[in-house]
Amino acid sequence: MQLKNDRYIRALLRQPVDTTPVWMMRQAGRYLPEYKATRAEAGDFMSLCKNAELACEVTLQPLRRFDLDAAILFSDILTIPDAMGLGLYFETGEGPKFKHALSSKAQIEALPIPDPEDELGYVMNAVRTIRRNLKGEVPLIGFSGSPWTLATYMVEGGASKAFTKIKKMAYADPNALHLLLDKLADSVIAYLNAQIKAGAQSVMVFDTWGGVLTPRDYQLFSLQYMHKIVDGLIREHDGQRVPVTLFTKNGGAWLEKIADTGCDGVGLDWTIDIAEAKRRVGDRVALQGNMDPSILYAPAARIEDEVKTILAGFGNGTGHVFNLGHGIHLDVPPENAGVFVEAVHKFSKQYHQE
């Protein structure tokens, strides 16, 4: 099925578009009252993820409100560790936790690589259901956490501020950590390729915690494993190119090295100026980003002003997917998100005239 709106795919492939495409990280989520109602119906977060019809419903909810150029699979980055048997659960107000955190090489050696159509089959069912219900309106983005980011949760046992347990493993027992990261990279490759076969038309790797590493250790423990993933992905399916985007939060220092992986797009957070990012990577990759999500608390005129500034920073031509620099905050008024999306389309046309 041909896409009715393929701006997002075209921009990632640095092909001409009529206006800059826009979507938002966490666009299906807690800032929308209809999401809260659907989650209440599901009972809890993972039950929502595992019900294909409800996961489809929350994926489509933001598209009914806003003129977005892509849908993103509703799921969680921790599905792979959960499928490895670590016992994922959620504490109210505290985020995800694991019952069986990893602390030894023996535990890591015993970890299985999950079958994406078996232990993670519920994700593939959601992808197929969403793709069918999108009816070719916009492309569907699949995603995974990066090996390093998944490993931080698996070793720390949940979210962390200092990352002492995983850094202890990195420096005191690096062989154990590399074994874990290699297993995770193989798992992510299988998982994302299964999403592509099930209908995802683009994929994204979220390296939420790569920015806590030193430059040397970022390449050693994070980037080399994302590079392995890029090399292992299906890049063409059903006669269409399948773009891959890598996003490292606080990764602005390493843009050139991220671009060297062969990915199609590099995600930017708000701590780097997009004009500088474009100057550094040229036209080797598309750039995705990079408005501070907190701007969405501002009045409409301030939101529009920030959109204009970022568009002007990127300048003429293609290769920009407009997004927030991280996920939308849960207490942002939905109408402010609407102002943002409309502003991108309205003010970007001038940068795409032949």
Specify binding-site residues for substrate.
26-30, 76, 153, 208, 326
39, 235, 241, 284: which one is catalytic? 39
Helices of type H across the chain: 7-12, 33-42, 45-50, 52-65, 79-81, 105-109, 121-134, 147-156, 164-172, 174-198, 215-217, 224-232, 255-259, 274-281, 300-314, 334-348
Instruction: Provide CB contacts within 8 A for 210, sequence distance 6+.
Output: 146, 148, 149, 218, 222, 223, 248, 249, 250, 251
Q: Binding-site residues, please? A: 26-30, 76, 153, 208, 326
Q: Two tokens at 68?
A: 């977005």
132 annotated active-site: no
Q: Which residue out of 6, 14, 30, 118 is catalytically annotated?
A: 30
**Amino acid letter for position 65:** R
Concerning whether 273 is annotated as a catalytic residue, the answer is no
30 is catalytic: yes
Calpha distance 147→152 (Å, rounded): 9
* Active-site position among 26, 65, 235, 241: 26
Catalytic residue among 76, 115, 173, 273: 76
From the candidates 64, 69, 153, 283, give the one annotated as an active-site residue: 153
Q: Is 216 a catalytic residue?
A: no
148: tokens are: 């390093």
Distance CA 15, CA 3 (A): 15
Task: Please give the backbone phi and psi of residue 94, each rounded to the nearest 5 degrees, phi first.
Answer: -120, -10
Active site (catalytic) residues = 26, 30, 39, 76, 153
